[in-house]
């Protein structure tokens, strides 16, 4: 498990600028790098968990963020999984074994079946079953909504938006015998109307795809997330924890350092 020296140093200082949420999708078996950019091999996922544990990070659920935001330690990370792919189940097992927690945002229409929404760059994949979600919930994981059909909410009418938000929420609440209070916007797409509808539907937290620390404008319905991608080395993962940015390439890091130096000199 290798992290280059500079990334190691950056990681040692991470966790001081607020919570960070990581966004996962598919977790494929074995150690081979997946072809799909939104997937991650199981071995890479486990190595990332090692990094978190070895460096003293605390995992919390979205529900815990909503209720305990003022009491969370500096190195707090939310592990979130979008869509509800069946290949996430071993990842759940690994998290439970390590006594770590995570939040899954699932598409309820396709549970136990192949994903039916169409994207140019996304394969159709098997989704988790209702019984698997119940097992995960019983083990301490949080299950949240990702709409009923994985739609682009801004393209819908107000009535359709309400149906997508409430149908998935009601189904999961009945399945888990507990209110579902967390949501992730499909494709990260939302506007003021959707924010209002999300709040009206009873969600306490909602997650976007914009990177950064914490939340936007202190609004728990606009929580930032950092995407974990197929090609991320452990050094890249370490820098993502340090900067809460999707782009942590060395040119971007150099630009960041230069901007910081200019800011300091300008304030001198």
Q: What is the pLDDT of residue 267?
A: 60
Range of the domain at 173: 5-267
Q: Are strands 142-145 and 103-106 parallel, antiparallel or unpaired?
A: parallel
**Overall number of domains in the chain:** 1
pLDDT of residue 259: 79
At 68 the pLDDT is 83
pTM of the model: 0.95
**pLDDT tens per residue across span 92-150:** 999 999 999 999 999 999 999 999 998 888 899 999 999 999 999 999 999 999 999 99
C-alpha 139, offset from chain centre: 19
pLDDT (0 to 100) of residue 110: 97
Instruction: CATH number of the domain at 89, please.
Output: 3.20.20.370
pLDDT lower than 70: segments of the chain: 267-268
Give pLDDT, residue 198.
Answer: 98
| Under 8 Å between Cβ of 31 and 44 | yes
């Amino acid at each position: 498990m290798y992290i280059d020296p500079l990334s190691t140093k950056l990681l040692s200082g991470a966790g001081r600028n607020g919570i960070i949420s990581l966004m996962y999708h598919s977790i494929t078996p074995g150690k081979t790098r997946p072809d799909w950019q939104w997937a991650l091999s199981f071995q890479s996922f486990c190595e990332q968990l090692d990094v978190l544990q070895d460096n003293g990070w605390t995992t919390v659920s979205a529900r815990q963020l909503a209720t305990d935001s003022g009491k969370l330690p500096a190195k707090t990370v939310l592990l979130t999984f979008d869509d509800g792919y069946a290949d996430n189940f071993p990842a759940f097992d690994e998290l439970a074994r390590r006594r770590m927690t995570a939040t899954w945002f699932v598409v309820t229409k396709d549970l136990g079946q192949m994903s039916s929404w169409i994207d140019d760059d996304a394969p159709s994949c098997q989704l988790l079953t209702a019984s698997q979600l119940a097992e995960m919930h019983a083990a301490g994981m949080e299950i949240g909504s990702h709409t009923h059909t994985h739609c682009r909410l801004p393209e819908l009418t107000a009535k359709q938006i309400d149906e997508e938000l409430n149908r998935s929420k009601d189904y999961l609440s009945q399945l888990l015998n507990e209110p579902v209070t967390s949501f992730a916007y499909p494709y990260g797409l939302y506007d003021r109307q959707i924010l209002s509808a999300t709040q009206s539907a009873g969600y306490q937290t909602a997650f976007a795809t914009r990177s950064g620390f914490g939340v936007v404008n202190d609004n728990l319905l606009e929580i930032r997330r950092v995407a974990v991608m197929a090609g991320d080395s452990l050094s890249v993962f370490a820098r993502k924890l340090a900067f809460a940015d999707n782009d942590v390439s060395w040119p971007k890091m150099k630009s960041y350092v230069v901007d910081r130096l200019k800011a300091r000199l300008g304030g001198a």
